[in-house]
A and B are shown apart, each in its own frame.
Chain A
Amino acid sequence: MLRIRNLFAYYGAVTALSGVTCRVREGEVVALIGANGAGKTTLLNAVCGLVRWQGEVTFQGRSLAGMAPEAIVGLGVSQVAEGRQLFAPMSVAENLELGAYRRYRREERGAIERDREWLLELFPKLRERQEQRAGTLSGGEQQMLAIARALMARPRLLLLDEPSLGLAPLVVESILATLGELRAQGVTILLVEQNARAALKVADRAYVMETGRIMLSGSARDLLQDRQVTRAYLGRDYKEFTEGR
């Protein structure tokens, strides 16, 4: 579904991605794990057209080279950005409404309404808070709203950037658990996480990134057992860690 080949991205003189190759198949949950500055967010932003890149990125056989961010969303790729990026002064309902921004013309209101219902079913907390300003929600609720908003666009591929950021472990678990439910509904997910253990539990496959490269890849179960992964996340042997972001 998503195929990335030999991807390079730069921030000025700094190389953020140096030759990343990876892929996401239809119906999979793929985790992208790695420490700070490994280039995970850059990779997502490159797919979304927010970062200039060189190489090859195709989505369902179509090259994304030179496409504007809003056009990429139009193809069915939605990102839940790091830090959630909600519209804080607007209500929960309005944030959801904005998620369906692109669909307004093509589809009748009914389909959007059904999706809203489905999402409020998925995240019942949001239903109680519909009229509340997004900025006044708790961190976990904000993350749920961010995911729900992205899903209102009916994406085929959902990119999640650090959904666990700053959340209590219990909340993280419940949010990651919903990802399994989403997959059952046919949403393909690329999940970026620092919280490797939690991510590997829900993912089918995973890539481990380090300083702009993919170091390891494999099924989530294998990686969970892998000594190298465990070591990487305990930080041993990585004293010369470079902040490449």
Chain B
Amino acid sequence: MTRLLLNPWLLFAAGVLLVPQAVTNQYYFTLLNIIGIHTILVVGLNLLMGYAGQISLGHAAFFGLGAYTSGILTAAGVVNPWLALLLGLVVSGSAAFLIGIPVLKLRGYYLAMATLGFGVIIFIVLVQGHRFTGGPSGLHGIPSLSLGGFPLDTPFRLYFLVWTCVGLLLAFSANLVDSRVGRALRALHDSETAAQSLAVHTARLKLQIFVLSALYASLAGSLYAHTLNFIAPSSFDIMFSIKLVTMVVVGGMASIWGSLLGAATLTVLPEFLAFFQEFEVVIYGAILMVVMIFLPRGLVRGLMDLWERRHRLTEGGTTPG
């Protein structure tokens, strides 16, 4: 029975359904939606970083490509938002494919630098492309999504769409990493040569996971544009890419649930810390350092280890059940 109750999927579904009962303030729903969007981004990045072992410091760019494709096409009223979302996926996916071919030949720091460069380029395009993107002051008038004639125009209504997406993508990712492909990804992480010697087509696999990860980011971007109805380049800069990497690491590399926890923690934390005003950034940094020093494997694994240790102590040395 406890096993059933502790099933993470049931807990997740219950959480998603129960939260609206407790929360009434629309502001909190916006925050929850942002957490959901960040989770999608972080899960995608975690597949690339945590599982395949390839870093990307340019993920905000794919997020931006999705957001701006949706934003530009729908603000002008040319295209249905859902079609725009699909086009965003096409744009980001193609960009990831074309960039990925040369860039994924690099490893480690060099890959980080190359993806960082890509992020910078997209950021500059967003700032300089006044005619389409609205430049530094941003893009206004993005309509909300609607589902079968039902407008998703409040944060509360959008909440269910965002978290359904989160749930589906979490489930898909958990399945993926547990499959034959998932094992190949982890093999790739461990040793590219050894993976090759088992007939894993490493170059193709890296490209596939990079594109998949960009698709997650693009979807998140489109949802983001329709959530806030306004986007500006500053949301898609290098600092945001780094923040995403931080969320992956804090939540736990190669941990699907860690992605959710990392995204939630680092999205909510600044809101709480706003209380400390100018010390906010300092405290934020200090918390990250403490987490990384004491829970180097991320929040999920770290907390699980702590819980197990306590369990073992209270049960007087018997192994946890």
Interface residues of A (CB under 8 A from B): 48, 50, 68-70, 73-74, 78-79, 81, 85-90, 94, 97-99, 101-102, 104, 149-150, 153
- Give how many A-B residue pairs fall within 8 Å (CB-CB): 65
Is B190 touching A89 in the complex (CB atoms < 8 A)? Answer: yes
Is A73 touching B198 in the complex (CB atoms < 8 A)? Answer: yes
**B200 interfacial contact with A, CB 8 Å:** yes
**B187 interfacial contact with A, CB 8 Å:** yes
Closest to A159 in B: B197
Contact partner of A73 among B180, B184, B193, B199, CB < 8 A? B199
Known interface pairs A87-B187, A87-B191. Does A149 touch B198 (Cβ–Cβ under 8 Å)?
Answer: yes
**B186 interfacial contact with A, CB 8 Å:** yes
**B301 interfacial contact with A, CB 8 Å:** no
**B140 interfacial contact with A, CB 8 Å:** no
Contact with A along B76-89 (1 / 0, CB 8 A): 00000000000000
What CA separation (Å) do A85 and B187 show in the bound complex?
A: 10
Is A50 touching B193 in the complex (CB atoms < 8 A)? Answer: yes
Contact with A along B284-306 (1 / 0, CB 8 A): 00000000000000000000000
Among B191, B193, B196, B199, max chain A CB count under 10 A is at B199
Q: Which residues from chain A contact B184 at a C-beta distance below 8 Å?
A: 98, 101
CB A46 to nearest CB in B, in angstroms, measures 13
7 closest cross-chain pairs (CB), A and B = A102-B199, A73-B199, A85-B194, A69-B196, A87-B190, A70-B199, A70-B201
What CA separation (Å) do A153 and B198 show in the bound complex?
A: 7
Is A73 touching B183 in the complex (CB atoms < 8 A)? Answer: no
5 contacts between A and B (CB under 8 A): A50-B193, A74-B199, A79-B197, A88-B190, A98-B183
Is B199 touching A101 in the complex (CB atoms < 8 A)? Answer: yes
What CA separation (Å) do A48 and B201 show in the bound complex?
A: 14
What CA separation (Å) do A153 and B202 show in the bound complex?
A: 17
Among A85, A89, A102, max chain B CB count under 10 A is at A85
Contact partner of A89 among B186, B197, B199, B200, CB < 8 A? B186
Known interface pairs A50-B193, A85-B194. Does A90 touch B199 (Cβ–Cβ under 8 Å)?
Answer: no
What CA separation (Å) do A153 and B194 show in the bound complex?
A: 13
Contact partner of A90 among B180, B187, B196, B200, CB < 8 A? B187
Known: A73-B196, A98-B195. 5 other contacts (CB 8 A): A73-B198, A90-B183, A101-B200, A104-B180, A153-B198
Closest to A73 in B: B199
Interface residues of B (CB under 8 A from A): 180, 183-184, 186-187, 190-191, 193-202
Is B191 touching A85 in the complex (CB atoms < 8 A)? Answer: yes
Q: Is the interface of B mostly helix, strand, loop or mixed?
A: helix
Closest to A79 in B: B197
Q: Which residues from chain A contact B190 at a C-beta distance below 8 Å?
A: 87-90
Known interface pairs A87-B187, A90-B187, A98-B187. Does A48 touch B180 (Cβ–Cβ under 8 Å)?
Answer: no
What CA separation (Å) do A50 and B187 show in the bound complex?
A: 17
Is B197 touching A73 in the complex (CB atoms < 8 A)? Answer: yes
Closest to B197 in A: A79
What CA separation (Å) do A87 and B198 show in the bound complex?
A: 12
Contact partner of A81 among B180, B197, B199, B202, CB < 8 A? B197
Is A70 touching B191 in the complex (CB atoms < 8 A)? Answer: no
Q: Which residues from chain A contact B186 at a C-beta distance below 8 Å?
A: 87, 89-90, 94
Is B197 touching A85 in the complex (CB atoms < 8 A)? Answer: yes
Q: Which residues from chain B contact A79 at a C-beta distance below 8 Å?
A: 197
Q: Which residues from chain B contact A101 at a C-beta distance below 8 Å?
A: 180, 183-184, 198-200
Is A78 touching B187 in the complex (CB atoms < 8 A)? Answer: no
Known interface pairs A89-B186, A94-B183, A98-B184. Does A153 touch B199 (Cβ–Cβ under 8 Å)?
Answer: yes
Q: Which residues from chain B contact A88 at a C-beta distance below 8 Å?
A: 190
CB B31 to nearest CB in A, in angstroms, measures 36
Is A48 touching B187 in the complex (CB atoms < 8 A)? Answer: no
Among B184, B194, B198, max chain A CB count under 10 A is at B198
CB B118 to nearest CB in A, in angstroms, measures 26
What CA separation (Å) do A48 and B199 show in the bound complex?
A: 11
Is A69 touching B197 in the complex (CB atoms < 8 A)? Answer: yes
Closest to A102 in B: B199
What CA separation (Å) do A78 and B196 show in the bound complex?
A: 10
Contact partner of B198 among A68, A89, A90, A102, CB < 8 A? A102
Known interface pairs A98-B184, A101-B184. Does A70 touch B193 (Cβ–Cβ under 8 Å)?
Answer: no
Is B180 touching A85 in the complex (CB atoms < 8 A)? Answer: no
Among B184, B195, B197, max chain A CB count under 10 A is at B197
CB B188 to nearest CB in A, in angstroms, measures 10
Q: Which residues from chain B contact A98 at a C-beta distance below 8 Å?
A: 183-184, 187, 195, 198, 200
Closest to B202 in A: A70
What CA separation (Å) do A73 and B184 show in the bound complex?
A: 15
Is A70 touching B180 in the complex (CB atoms < 8 A)? Answer: no
Is A70 touching B194 in the complex (CB atoms < 8 A)? Answer: no
Q: Which residues from chain A contact B202 at a C-beta distance below 8 Å?
A: 70
What CA separation (Å) do A85 and B197 show in the bound complex?
A: 10
CB B167 to nearest CB in A, in angstroms, measures 27
Q: Which residues from chain A contact B196 at a C-beta distance below 8 Å?
A: 50, 69-70, 73
